[in-house]
Amino acid sequence: MRKVLKSLTVFASIACLVAMFTLSGCTRHPNEGQLQTLEETKKAALAAEDELAQKQQEKADLEKELAEKKQKLEYAKSEKAKVQ
């Protein structure tokens, strides 16, 4: 009798666990809130990528300007050396 009762208890526990995981598990499709969060995340990522590209272009422009100014400085130094 105890063996049957114990088996029945174990079976009932396993059935409850399976039912709990089945009923509370993930769905196949995302809900509206998850879709909205995904869209917001995509927009933020695209904005960050655009900003990165803009900053990289700005950096390239500044490096070009710096190179030009260094070239002018070297020219000015050579002219100064000629004059002295």
Q: For position 31, what pLDDT does the model report?
A: 84
Average pLDDT over residues 15-27: 66
Confidence category of residue 15, pLDDT binned at 50, 70, 90:
confident
What's the whole-model pTM score?
0.55
Residue entry with tokens 């070239």: 71
Full DSSP string of 24-76: HS--SS--HHHHHHHHHHHHHHHHHHHHHHHHHHHHHHHHHHHHHHHHHHHHH
Alpha-carbon distance 22 to 4, whole Å? 27
In this predicted model, what pLDDT tens digit does every residue of 36-71 receive, in sequence order? 999 999 999 999 999 999 999 999 999 999 999 999
Per-residue DSSP letter, 1:
-
Average pLDDT over residues 68-84: 93
